[in-house]
Every structure is written in C-alpha cells, then in structure tokens.
Amino acid sequence: MPDYKKMYFTLFRATEQAINTLIEAQRECEEMYISEPEIELRVIPLLDRTEDEKE
C-alpha cells in the first residue's frame, strides 16, 4: 500500500520550496525596480484638432 503520508509531505515540501522561490524572485525584481534611477518623462503636445479636421 502506498505511503500516503510520505507522499503528502513530499508534495507539501516541494510546494513550499516553489512558493519560496517565487517570493524570493519577486523580492529581487522589486529591489531591481526601486534601485533603478527614475526615467525622465516628457509630454509631447498633440496637434491641434482643428488643424487635423481641416485636412
């Protein structure tokens, strides 16, 4: 008969390791994101709509 308790704990440990790996990767990515210098954004004005409609 299969050892269901052993099977359960094996799967539980693997699931826990996978979750911890994902959490660590997320933390690393968040740290990379906040460590980057901010990008300077600038607004590019749109053409006047009335000029577009005349064409």
Q: What is the pLDDT of residues 2-26, one digit of tens each?
A: 999 999 999 999 999 999 999 999 9
Query: 48 or 25, which is more confident?
Result: 25
Q: Which token pair is 13?
A: 């440990």
Rounded CA-CA distance 21/18 in Å is 5
Q: What is the mean pLDDT of residues 27-49?
A: 91
Residue 34, CA distances (Å) to 10, 26, 29, 41 in order: 37, 12, 9, 17
pTM given for the model: 0.60
Burial string for 16-25 (b: 16+ CB within 10 Å, else e) reads eeeeeeeeee
